[in-house]
A and B are shown apart, each in its own frame.
Chain A
Amino acid sequence: MLGTLIALIVLTMVLAIVFLVRPTVTVSPREKILAFMALFILPGLCVGGGMATHMQRSEQTRFCISCHAMTPYGESLYVDDRQYIPAAHFQNHRIPVETACYACHADYTIYGPLKDKLQGIIRIYMQYVSSPPQMISIRGGYSNLQCLHCHGGARSFEADPIHQAIMDTLKSNQTSCISSGCHDTVHNVAALSQVKFWRPVQ
């Protein structure tokens, strides 16, 4: 995919260089069509392909933790403690390992990926232009919908008597899954120096 896109970009660049060096080549209709391809269609395709590649890349776990501020959150995925919700999901492959952050933090709505990208750009702005916050937090809090995207309708979740008793408040996000005393050990990066880590067999 990336190789094909780069080949397309190089081809477009070569054609654009032809029009840069010899802009008079657009005499015949065939040359005009070539100019239309080189200066309109192909650059448009390159932008589309680049956008798709960058969007896909930003879903990867290693992309998220490539930011310095996110490194401890990446480390928390290897905590050897089942109480740590992200670690338990990551280590047992309950979520795709390659896109672990995205699986639990994506906004699963039609414009969700766009909103997530905008949030990412705001965080980049805070990191490099203004000042990053002392404590990283999710704007508006963590929504239960992100848990229910997978757990909603699952037998193990629905059959649990505690879940059954508060199902309506869970679905309406009135009772938080992670901050109501039930599953409240999440990344907990402040305590990483005091915990044991699991190392996968290479």
Chain B
Amino acid sequence: MILRATGIKQFFRVSSALIILGLAAEILSLLWFHPLAFVLFAFVGVSLIGLGILVYLVSLVFAVFPPAGNRG
């Protein structure tokens, strides 16, 4: 019910923010040559990106699209 009441905009914002944070962690891990860089990538980067993708996919199923005359 709560999900259905949430608009697509909120889902997109959350999804984008998670993906941006995850990608930033991935860039850091790629520029840092250390065994801990893999941990940063696998446990922080991949988790955030994965969660972002999941939120996006959930939005396709549950989000409420705004009416045609109320977009923009």
- On A, residues with C-beta under 8 Å from B are 2, 5-6, 9-10, 12-13, 16-17, 19-20, 23-24, 26-27, 35, 38-40, 43-44, 46-47, 50-51, 53-54, 57-58, 62-63, 66-67, 117, 120-121, 124, 128
In the complex, are the beta carbons of B8 and A23 less than 8 A apart?
Answer: yes
Chain B contacts for A128, CB-based, 8 A: 36
Task: Given A26-B12, A66-B34, verify A17-B26 contact (CB < 8 Å).
Answer: no
Instruction: Provide the bound-state CA to CA distance between A133 and B13, in Å.
Output: 46
Q: Please count the residue pairs between chain A and chain B whose beta carbons lie under 8 angstroms apart in the complex.
A: 107
Chain A contacts for B34, CB-based, 8 A: 66
Task: Given A9-B26, A27-B71, A50-B41, verify A20-B57 contact (CB < 8 Å).
Answer: no
CB distance from A122 to the nearest CB of B (A): 12
Nearest neighbor of A5 in chain B, beta-carbon distance: B30
6 A–B pairs (Cβ distance < 8 Å), ordered by A: A6-B27, A24-B71, A35-B56, A43-B52, A54-B29, A124-B39
CB distance from B46 to the nearest CB of A (A): 6
Interface secondary structure of B, over-half rule: helix
CB distance from A16 to the nearest CB of B (A): 4
Instruction: Provide the bound-state CA to CA distance between A171 and B17, in Å.
Output: 54
In the complex, are the beta carbons of A24 and B9 less than 8 A apart?
Answer: yes
Q: Is residue B24 within 8 Å, beta carbon to beta carbon, of the partner chain?
A: yes
In the complex, are the beta carbons of A50 and B30 less than 8 A apart?
Answer: yes
Q: Is residue B23 within 8 Å, beta carbon to beta carbon, of the partner chain?
A: yes
> For chain B residues 34-55, which have a beta carbon within 8 Å of chain A?
34-39, 41-42, 45-46, 49-50, 52-53
Instruction: Provide the bound-state CA to CA distance between A46 and B24, in Å.
Output: 11
In the complex, are the beta carbons of A66 and B33 less than 8 A apart?
Answer: yes
In the complex, are the beta carbons of A67 and B35 less than 8 A apart?
Answer: yes
Chain B 54-66 near chain A by CB (<8 Å), digits 1 or 0: 0011000000001
In the complex, are the beta carbons of A39 and B35 less than 8 A apart?
Answer: no
Instruction: Provide the bound-state CA to CA distance between A46 and B45, in Å.
Output: 10
Most A CB contacts (10 A, CB to CB) among B20, B46, B66 go to B20
In the complex, are the beta carbons of A50 and B39 less than 8 A apart?
Answer: no
Chain A contacts for B33, CB-based, 8 A: 57, 62-63, 66
